[in-house]
Structures are given as C-alpha cells and as structure tokens.
Amino acid sequence: MSTMDIAKKYVELCKTHQNHLIIETMFSPDIVSVEAGAPPGASAEVTGIKAVGEKSKTWMETHEVHSAKVEGPWPNGDKFIVRFTYDVTNKPSGQRFTMDEAALLTVAGDKIVREEFFYSMGG
C-alpha cells in the first residue's frame, strides 16, 4: 500500500470514530507515540502498542467529545500529516476546550510506526 492509501484509511477511521481499529489494525507493535508536552512526572514519549492503546483508552474515558473535525491527509514520502479540531470536555475538571492539533504519522512496512502530536502549550 502507498502512504496515501494508509493515510486515507487512517483519516476514514478517525472520522467514523473507530480509533480503536487504528490501534488494532494499523499500528506496528513497536509504535512510538510522542506528545508535544506531558504533565510533570509523565513522559511525552510512549513506546509499544499496549502502552499507546492504554494512553488512548485513558484519554477517551476522561474526555467527552462534542464534535470532531479531521482534515487531510497530506502525504510526503513515508510520512503524512492530519489536522484535528476537537471540541471536548475534560471530565475530571469539567473544563471544555478546543483541541487544535496536527499529527505527523510515519509508515514502514504498511504499518504506522510513529505518531507525533503537534500543538501549542500556551507558549
């Protein structure tokens, strides 16, 4: 499959709220997930499909998604970029905010081997 084939499938699964299928069917077992930032004591980088799956599950459980916009993909070589604009409420704090970010995905052997999330930390 081309990077664009994989990118289109990724976007389709995001748009239809089947992110669990991305993890189960599109991620390499050794996937590396990199956040732009992390709370004190936490790591911005997580490795392995189990840890990445748990991170995703925790996020889903602690956030209510009111609406989601997924744009792209934009490919270049073995990478592609996707833009996310999510209107969400963080359940523990009750705070509603707009999640405005871009993701850079790297493909190898028809699997996603790296996901990097880009967003402002208020800087």
Report the Cα 55 to chain-centroid distance in Å.
10
CB-based burial, 91-105: b 16+ in 10 Å, e otherwise: eeeeeeeeeebbbbb
Residue 113 makes contact with its own copies by CB under 8 A = no
Q: Of 2 and 25, which CB lies nearer to its own copies in the complex structure?
A: 2
Near its own copies by CB under 8 A, which window of 1-9, 14-22, 46-54, 89-97?
1-9
Residue 94 Cβ, how far from its own copies at the closest point, in Å? 26
Q: Which helix (H) or strand (E) holds 20?
A: helix 19-21
Q: Do 87 and 67 contact (CB within 8 A), yes or no?
A: yes
Q: Which of residues 68-97 bind its own copies (CB under 8 A)?
A: 72-77, 79-81, 83
Residue 50 Cβ, how far from its own copies at the closest point, in Å? 23
Q: Do 24 and 108 contact (CB within 8 A), yes or no?
A: no
Q: Of 37 and 91, which CB lies nearer to its own copies in the complex structure?
A: 37
Q: In what order do the strands lie in the sheet with 45-47?
A: 45-47, 27-34, 111-118, 95-108, 79-90, 63-76
Q: Which of residues 33-52 bind its own copies (CB under 8 A)?
A: 34-36
Which positions lie near its own copies, rule CB under 8 A? 2, 4-5, 34-36, 72-77, 79-81, 83, 100-102, 104, 116-121, 123
